Structure 1
Amino acid sequence: MLAIERKNEILATLQKEQRVLVAELSQKYNVTEETIRRDLEKLEKEGFVKKTYGGAVLNNNTNVDLPLRIREKTNKKEKQIIAKLVAELVEEGETIMLDSSSTSLMAAKNLKQMKKLTVITNSVEVLIELSGNKGINVISTGGMLRDASLSLVGKTAERTLMNFNVDKAIISCKGVDLEKGITESNENEAEIKNVMRNCAKTTILAIDNSKFDNVSFIKVPDLKKNDILVTDKVLPDKWSQYFEDRSIQIITEN
C-alpha cells in the first residue's frame, strides 16, 4: 500500500471513530510504529488531526474540510440509503442542481437511469459520473477549482447558477443544530449552496444522522416551508418537532 493510501485510510477511520492508536495502526498496516507516527505528523500539519499520547484524534475545528475522497468513504452505507431516497424524489424531465457533496455524488449515481433530466452542478465528480448518459443534459457552473472538494466555486460559478430556475436543488451540509441551523465548513461552498437554494422551487437537504447536533464554521440559510429533509434514520422527537413546526417534509428509510 502506498503511503498516501494509508494516510487516507487512517483519516477515514478517524472520521468514523474520532480516535486512532499508533500500535493498532502499526499492526493493521504491517508497518513500524515510527511510520505511523510520521503519517500522523503529516496529517497534523495538514490540519486534519491532533496528535495525542499513543495516537491521534480528529480535528473537529469548525472550519476543517476533509477531502472528498475521505468523505466518500465515511458513513458510506448511510449515504447510499439517502442517495436512493433522493433519486426517487426526482422526476423525469425535471431540471435540478447538485452541489459538490459526497452525498450528491452518490445521488448522481442513482440518477443515471433517467431518460430525460437536466443537471446543473459545480461538482467535477458529478460531471464525470453523468457524462455519456444520453438522456441527461449536464451543465457545469465553471469557476475556480477547490482541490479538497473537487468543486467549482467563486463568482463565476455563482453567476452561472443565477441564470437558471430549477425544480429542485439537492444539497448537503456539515452540520445542523437546533439553535444555529444549517452550517458549512467553507465560505465558498456555503455561498454556492445558498445560490442553488434561491434558484430552486424546492430544496432537498440530504444528510446522514452524524450531521445532527453539529455546528460548523459558516451559516447557510435554513430550509423553508415545503422543502424536504432526507436522512437515513428516524429522527429523535426534538428534531421531528423542529421540522414539523417549519412545515418541512421528512423522508427516511423507515
Structure 2
Amino acid sequence: MKAKYLLLTTSIMALSNAALAYDNIPYGCTHKKHIDYSDGNNNLAGSIESGLNAVYGGINNQWSYLDWGSFIYNVNSLVSSGADIEISGPDYVVQGEPARFKADLPYEPNNFLRSVNFGTSEYNSKVKKKSDWDANAYAQLSFDYTYGEGLAWSVYSDDICSTKSVMVQKRPSIEKLSLGKYGNLIDVTVSYSVDKYSKAKISNQSPRIKFRYVSEEGELNVSDWVEVSLNSSVHSIRLSTQYAGTFRVTAIINDGTYTESLYLGNVTVGGSPHRPCPQCHPDV
C-alpha cells in the first residue's frame, strides 16, 4: 500500500487541543483527492465551508468551527510521502445517507482485530470499529450537514491516519409531465434534475434515462438508456410495444452514480392482440 501525502511540516499541524480532544485526529494524515473540480477550486477547506454556508448560512450551533476547521485547512498543505493505513470508499455520497468506508491496514498479526477510529469533517462523527482477519476495518459514515466536498478519515494510532475527499450530493430526481398514447405508441414526457455535485455534473457527463413498461398480460419491455442533456430538464419519447394492452410505465434516471425510479401510471395502446400466453406460438 502506498500513501500519497504527508504534511509539509509538523508546525503546520498545530491543532487546537479542542480538535484533538473530541475526535483524536492525529498530527499527520495522508490524503486522497479523487477529482479536479470543474470550477477550478481545489481548496478542500474552502469547498467544505462554502457548502455549509450555502445550505445553512454558516456553521450552526451544533458545530464548533474552530474545533475541526483547523484540521481541514491543514489538509490543504499535504505533500507526497508514505503511510501505513489507507481509507477507501465511494467518491460520491448522498447527503444524510450512510456510506461504507474501508480502512486498509498492513497485513500483519498486530493489525488483526485492532481498534480503528473513523470519522468525517462533521463534528462529533467518530465511530470505532474492529479490523478483521484480513487487517481491514469497515464503517458506515454519514454526511448530514455537508453539501459539496467533505472529508472521511480513519486512524489506528496517534500519528497514523488517512483521509479521503468525497462529494456530498442530493439524489437525481424525475417527474411526470405527461403520459398518453400516440397511435399505437406510448407517449411520455418527463422532467428531470441532477445535483450540481453529482458525477454527471462534476465530470460534465450526460445523465441517462430509460423506461420500463409492463402490460397486464405480462409483456415486459425496457428501453435502452438514453443520454439526456445537462443543460435541459425535459425529455420526451415514444415507446413501441409488441402487442396491444394496458401498460404500467416507470421512468428511471442515473446521474453517473445513483439511480432513481418513478412509477408514472398506466396507459392503454392498440395493436396486435396479445397472445394467450408468453410461451404460445404467435399464430395461436
Asked if these proteins are the same fold (TM beyond 0.5), I'd say: no
Structure with the higher strand share, 1 or 2: 2
Larger radius of gyration: 2
TM-score, normalising length from structure 2?
0.22
Structure with the higher helix share, 1 or 2: 1
TM-score, normalising length from structure 1?
0.24
